[in-house]
Structure 1
Amino acid sequence: MPASTTLTAQDRVLVFAPHPDDEALGCGGLIQHAVAAGAQVRVIFQTDGDNNPWPQRYVEQRWSIDDDCRRRWGARRRQEALRSVQTLGLRAEDAIFYGLPDQGLTRLWMQQDARTLDLHVADLQNFRPTLLVVPSQDDNHPDHGGSYELVQEARKRAGLTAVRQWDYLIHRRWFCPEASGLTLNLTLQQKARKLAAIECHETQLYLSSTRFCAYARDEEIFIPNPYA
């Protein structure tokens, strides 16, 4: 990690994950770096990933999925998220769950939903992060773009516009990461622990194991946000 981006025990790192698994896929190495530095880390899961029909159909061998099915699936994914953050070195209480509508974050941002923004503002003001880690606005998944916009609006309302922000991208590959991004190199041990955290999300591995496990690479790439 370059000297200018070194984390210390004085840092307070707040990670936003639109769904359970994004924390491991996009930031599993960074979370380990922060923990090793003695920084305080919180992970906010904005949705429970409950609107996830194809893996649920496969696992539960059912076609019709109603509200009760989705709630059960969301509860299962929360438990996976808790195991993941603990694998990365955090405590269960370092995970915060908003339970917002999966596939609905962009809609909530466009509506400027008061409850949703109040949740974000309250945690920003209470935790007072020195570093925000947020999905990129260029991510192809609408919940990731919506997550980005919600955090930008909330940080303005919380008066935290000067706080550092690093953006991570999951649903589109970098074209030239060396030129545009901040590269975080992982040790073999960190890479193995990141893979173990990804594997905690077992509901997502039934249909996408190869794709998910491929995120346990030798490096993670973040874009320092110049507008934040």
Structure 2
Amino acid sequence: MNSTQTQPGIAAIVPVYNEVNRVGNVLEVLTRVADVTEVIVVDDGSSDGSAECASHFCCRVLQHRENQGKAAALWTGLQATKCPIVLFVDADLTGLTVEHIRALLLPVVQGRADMTIGQCQGGRWRTNWAQKVAGWMSGQRALRTDIIDGMASWRDLGWGIEAALTREAKLRRRRILQVPLHGLSQVTKEEKLGYLRGSWQRMRMYGHILHFLCRRGNSQRPVNWFLVRRWSVRISLLLGLVWTLASGWLYIVNAAASRQDALPPLTLPNPNCTLIIAPHPDDDVIACGGLIAKLREQRHDVCVVILTNGDGFPFEVVRETKRPPWRCADYLELGRRRQKEGINALQQLGMPPTSVIFLGFPDRGLSALWIENWNTSTPYRSPYTQRSSVPYPMALHPGQPYSGEALLQDLNRVIREVKPSQVFAPHPDDSHPDHWAASAFTQAAMLTCGLDLS
């Protein structure tokens, strides 16, 4: 931190529960931060080898025999260190950098704050919105341990621990600073556990938080139902806000559509072949449908590559099957159907089926392939289809593992065969994880094949 004074001891505590595919990325960053005196990993009864993975890094690994909850894991870590400053970091982060850690620590080390709370920004839209609505629930924070000295036992708080730490600091009139962490996000419970199990765990998490907020100071007193009603009103207002925003968005879309006649005419170059890369079936038509129709009308060659089969859409499964979205076979059937629909839609624009290529990689998993599951030795497993390789026989390469390396190989193969003179792909600043990841893969493939990104 570029300070000439001796820095106080800093301990980073990482609670872990079944995060074998992600904890290594977090520890790799933490162990490179020179200001962190020690890194303590508390394995909370994992069954997937998370503790073994953590043992390969320069850190202390403590283990619970059984899963006891996040609060208990943090408690165990705190009892194992005497450092006056602790840093809490979740194990399921994506995009974590050394700069993020320093941004959390610096205000506390310099005495400008007693607690910092990290706010994810510019990453995945789900994490961004969650942080905007309830930033005090963030698990990324640095604090002085004297804030919680004498604090009533909080081992049983589970996911309510962040709310407890924030309230304790406020009751003691300590200085709390929110720190923006640009590019940082987390993997959702639905992605890790599947839609049903993930949603159930999310409801449990909110239950832990609400239970803590309704206490009157300690766990022995009865629930404060006035607070329950107050928070029910707040939740209702939040849902109303979401509805209002959604309605406003639809109004803007409709207003823009009504003014489409005012747009200038599309002027086209004279391409030899145009390559369009879409993350999902329908993105190609929504974004480039007019372009495709115009190019085909002028008898130009067009090739459309769709990276996924759109097989991660629980609401569509419910709508079609009229049953809960828990069967992986239903998601696979959805993927096959969306592939056929995508080909039929493009045929309406003049595209021959032979010029439409599906790669079959996991819907809602492209960002994970880019950030976490790059190597074929550690493929991504879809929480929807429960597959870790391309399951569709009509894909370019059936059986290809769900990894960033494999996806890049397929894109390289297409580009070398098609030899496009121009390429269309999503914008790199698109907030949808699959969309910006598709942009990143496209740019990587173009550079590999020697194409000009400009």
TM-score, scaled relative to structure 1 = 0.67
In the other structure, the counterpart of 2:335 is 74
In the other structure, the counterpart of 2:275 is 14
Q: Distance in 2 between matches of 1:45 and 1:75?
A: 13
Say whether residues 1:97 and 2:358 are aligned partners: yes
Equivalent pair of 1:47/1:98 in contact (CA under 8 Å):
yes
Say whether residues 1:158 and 2:449 are aligned partners: yes
Q: Distance in 2 between matches of 1:155 and 1:38?
A: 25
In the other structure, the counterpart of 1:149 is 440
Q: Deviations over 1:138-183 (max 9, x none)?
A: 22211000100000111111111x2xxxxxxxxxxxxxxxxxxxxx
Measure how far apart 1:79 and its partner are.
Answer: 0.6
**Structure 2 residue matching 1:68: 3-state secondary structure:** helix
**Structure 1 residue matching 2:317: 3-state secondary structure:** helix
Q: Distance in 1 between matches of 2:370 and 2:435?
A: 11
Q: Deviations over 1:7-57 (max 9, x none)?
A: 33x520001111111111111000011112221001101000000111221
**Structure 2 residue matching 1:31: 3-state secondary structure:** helix
Q: How does 1:127-138 map to 2 (within 5 A)?
A: 127-138=418-429
In the other structure, the counterpart of 2:39 is none
Equivalent pair of 1:125/1:158 in contact (CA under 8 Å):
yes
Q: Distance in 2 between matches of 1:33 and 1:126?
A: 23
Aligned residues: 161
Q: Distance in 1 between matches of 2:325 and 2:410?
A: 32
Q: Distance in 2 between matches of 1:79 and 1:2?
A: 32
Q: How does 1:55-70 map to 2 (within 5 A)?
A: 55-70=316-331
In the other structure, the counterpart of 2:162 is none
Q: Distance in 2 between matches of 1:12 and 1:24?
A: 18
Which has the greater radius of gyration?
2
**Structure 1 residue matching 2:425: 3-state secondary structure:** strand
Measure how far apart 1:137 and its partner are.
Answer: 1.4
Measure how far apart 1:66 and its partner are.
Answer: 2.3
Equivalent pair of 2:317/2:325 in contact (CA under 8 Å):
no
**Structure 2 residue matching 1:135: 3-state secondary structure:** coil
In the other structure, the counterpart of 1:211 is none
User: Amino acid of the residue matched to residue 95 of structure 1?
Assistant: V
In the other structure, the counterpart of 1:24 is 285
Q: Distance in 1 between matches of 2:346 and 2:289?
A: 9
Q: Distance in 1 between matches of 2:424 and 2:305?
A: 10
Unpaired segments of 5 or more residues in structure 2? 1-263, 375-403
In the other structure, the counterpart of 2:411 is 120
In the other structure, the counterpart of 1:38 is 299
Write out the 4+ residue segments of structure 1 that deviate beyond 6 Å after TM superposition. none
Measure how far apart 1:6 and its partner are.
Answer: 2.1
User: Amino acid of the residue matched to residue 352 of structure 2?
Assistant: R
User: Amino acid of the residue matched to residue 53 of structure 1?
Assistant: P
Unpaired segments of 5 or more residues in structure 1? 163-226
Structure 1 or 2: more helix by fraction: 1
**Structure 2 residue matching 1:150: 3-state secondary structure:** helix
Equivalent pair of 2:426/2:438 in contact (CA under 8 Å):
yes
User: Amino acid of the residue matched to residue 439 of structure 2?
Assistant: Y
User: Amino acid of the residue matched to residue 90 of structure 1?
Assistant: M
Q: CA RMSD in A?
A: 1.7
Q: Distance in 2 between matches of 1:102 and 1:122?
A: 21
Measure how far apart 1:2 and its partner are.
Answer: 7.0
